[in-house]
Structure 1
Amino acid sequence: MKPIVSKDSIVYFNEDCYTALNSYLEKANHSTIFILVDSNTHEYCLPTFMSKIEKSYSIEVIEIEAGEIHKTIETCSGVWNVLSELGADRKSLLINLGGGVVTDLGGFVACTFKRGINYINIPTTLLSMVDASVGGKTGVDLGNLKNMVGVISESEMVLVDTNYLGTLPAEQMRSGLAEMLKHGLIKDQTYWKKMSDLSKLTTEDLDLLIYDSVIIKNEIVTIDPTEQNIRKFLNYGHTIGHAIESFYLTHPDLPTLLHGEAIAIGMIMEGFLSHHLLDLSKEALSEITEIILQTFPKVSIPKQYEQEIINLLIHDKKNENGTIYFVLLNKIGEATYNCTVPNDLIQKSFEYYGNITT
């Protein structure tokens, strides 16, 4: 697979990953290399990664706890302190080996430590391969508000080695499919059709779907790196989805939802809004609902919590001057950004999802 070139970074795939990495490390002459892992990737991914480095370098490993709940400024502070204690300087390199939490948080740590050191993302989950590690968004959560603190700054390179997917539990694999389905819905009807039947998916098929998904996202972020216009398309399903994810993350009586599980709900609800406010047909809404529910089982959202979730929408990063903006669909493969939605229709989208029979 040919490398995908973005504005300030390059995404390499599988067999090209370590050739590119070793060439880069040899030429860059970094003072120290730090590898950020979580407790899972330390055990399951780090040994493989270390075996791919051809020459001897000064390398230190920093481990954080796994899980979205640890994607905080407090965790960043711990990593900053360790970097400082181990003598990191502005010629140091941080390699982020992990899922979206590691790549988002690690990128933010790198961009802010000593006003910025180089970093490389090596995504190890499907979600981070097609979304979190591409496009330069870095950051952490603020309480239960997703990705409230961060910067946009691309890594030196992204290495997508799909062999790491063999370390994932099924629910983590499924979570990544949500962003891939989203890419089809907002930009490419043909890709959506390819994603609509995963029952006979082979490893080679998955590699190609990941590659195409990265191309779709890269085309958007290259045109609009700072999310002034069309990069907002990538937030389809996220306005409601992030609010649901945040609420479930911190509520003691509710299960934690993976990012993709929450975004899947958001895409169905925002599909409902698209049908009522734009030109998305009833047939297309039914298709979106059916395809997503084939992969993501319906989640029970207790009615007494709906208004609290809706109240979280005001914190969405697309909002301006207190106005909540949505990305909605004109049709499958074509989106519109900066859409406003009446509050009563948002409530009806919860009713639509709740009334779905499976």
Structure 2
Amino acid sequence: MESIKSQSYEVHLEDLAEAALKQHIAKNNYSKVFVLVDENTKKCCLPSFKEKLGYSIDKVFEIKSGEEHKNINTCSQLWQLLSDHDGDRKSLLINLGGGVLTDLGGFVASTFKRGIDFINVPTTLLSMVDASIGGKTGVDLGALKNQIGVINQPQMVLIFPEYLKTLEDRQVKSGFAEMLKHGLIQDADYWKSLKDSNDYANADYIKKSIAIKNDVVVQDPTEQGLRKILNFGHTLGHAIESYCLEHEERPTLLHGEAIAIGMILEGYLSHQLKGLSKLSLEEIKNTFLKYFAPVDFNPEDIDAILELLKYDKKNSHGNVNFVLLQNIGKAIADVKVPENLFQEAFAYYKE
């Protein structure tokens, strides 16, 4: 399966990924090779990855899984470990895990000694189709997602779909939400093909999603314009995700679960403000509710979620900027939304 060329690196899949990894290690005279894992990838993915690498690992660093550990404290621990194990500017950090781990690991590598090489090996569907492209690295600030970080590209990204077999169905569905988003913002035919598929986690669909995101990112690497469309569903979705993370009495939502709600809500806003047809809106809502159980929000929840919108990274000059759909396959960025429509959107979601 042909590799995908991004800005300064390539995304390699399956057999090509293994070959590219071995070639890269052989070509570069790294002083140290470190691998970052969490408790899940250490058990389920590290043994087979060591075989693929075929090279001595100097040290495996383990962090705890989960969004609640994607913070500067974890970074400090890893910077210290890199220093304690004689990491220098010619060291390599391989991040073996989901989006939380690759975001955090990329940020740690980008800032240790002003930057060392890193390779991302995403092991969840979400990280394969989303975090693998674009070079966004970073951590959360409290419950506020991705407030601290830099855009910095890995040496390469390696996709091994076999790792998806180690995941619970809920985790796979979380990644599926981002794949559906790619169709909604850029490719109506892909949306139609994907939304009724019983085998969405296969290599062909994964490659298609990566290619869609990559095409957007290559045209706008620093998110000055077009790249903003990748945030469809994320303005309200991130606020919902942060709110649930911050309130222990509420069940924590996975990223894709929160974004699925966000896409229904922002689909409603699209219908009201940008002419998305009622038929398309219903199609979007019914598709996401087919895969993701509805979540009940009371008025106090909604008020608190809307309060979090002021921290969204896309905000400018005090305005909350949304990405909305003109139709399925066509998105538009930097849309300002009247506040009264937020309550209407939640009411539509609850219907």
Q: TM-score range by the shorter chain?
A: over 0.9
Match of 1:166 in 2: 165
Match of 1:304 in 2: 300
> Does the CA-based 8 Å contact 1:31-1:58 persist in structure 2?
no
- Percent identity at matched positions? 54
Offset at 1:51? 1.0
AA aligned to 2:233 is G
Match of 1:117 in 2: 116
**Aligned pair 1:219/2:223, yes or no?**
no
Instruction: Count matched residues.
Output: 351
Match of 2:240 in 1: 244
Q: Distance in 2 between matches of 1:229 and 1:313?
A: 20
Deviations 1:23-79 (A, max 9, x none): 000001100001000111011100010011224x35210000000000000000000
Offset at 1:114? 0.2
- 2:136 counterpart SS class: coil
AA aligned to 1:4 is I
Q: Distance in 2 between matches of 1:194 and 1:105?
A: 33
> Does the CA-based 8 Å contact 1:104-1:133 persist in structure 2?
no
TM-score (norm 1): 0.97
Closer/same/farther in 2, CA of residues 231 and 256 from structure 1, 3 Å limit: same
AA aligned to 2:346 is F
Superposition pairs for residues 311-330 of structure 1, below 5 Å? 311-330=307-326
Offset at 1:297? 1.2
**Aligned pair 1:258/2:254, yes or no?**
yes
Superposition pairs for residues 139-178 of structure 1, below 5 Å? 139-178=138-177
Give unmatched runs, 5+ long, in structure 1: none
Match of 1:48 in 2: 48
- 1:289 counterpart SS class: helix
**Aligned pair 1:187/2:183, yes or no?**
no
Match of 1:283 in 2: 279
Q: Distance in 1 between matches of 2:200 and 2:343?
A: 40
Q: Distance in 1 between matches of 2:197 and 2:6?
A: 29
- 1:90 counterpart SS class: coil
Q: Distance in 2 between matches of 1:58 and 1:166?
A: 25
Which stretches of structure 1, 4 residues or more, deviate above 2 A after TM superposition? Answer: none
AA aligned to 1:195 is L
Q: Distance in 1 between matches of 2:57 and 2:162?
A: 26
With 116-125 and 287-296 compared, the bigger mean Cα shift is at: 287-296
- 1:139 counterpart SS class: strand
AA aligned to 1:137 is K
Match of 1:128 in 2: 127
Match of 1:28 in 2: 28
Match of 1:269 in 2: 265
Offset at 1:299? 1.1
Q: Distance in 1 between matches of 2:272 and 2:57?
A: 58
Offset at 1:100? 0.4
Deviations 1:109-155 (A, max 9, x none): 00000000000000000000000121100000000100000000110
Q: Distance in 2 between matches of 1:66 and 1:287?
A: 34
Offset at 1:202? 7.3
Q: Distance in 1 between matches of 2:147 and 2:103?
A: 12
AA aligned to 2:255 is H
Deviations 1:313-339 (A, max 9, x none): 111100001100000000000000000
User: CA-atom RMSD, angstroms?
Assistant: 0.9
**Aligned pair 1:7/2:7, yes or no?**
yes
Give unmatched runs, 5+ long, in structure 2: none
> Does the CA-based 8 Å contact 2:177-2:256 persist in structure 1?
yes
Q: Distance in 1 between matches of 2:300 and 2:28?
A: 56
TM-score (norm 2): 0.99
Offset at 1:211? 0.4
Q: Distance in 2 between matches of 1:106 and 1:40?
A: 16
- 2:137 counterpart SS class: coil
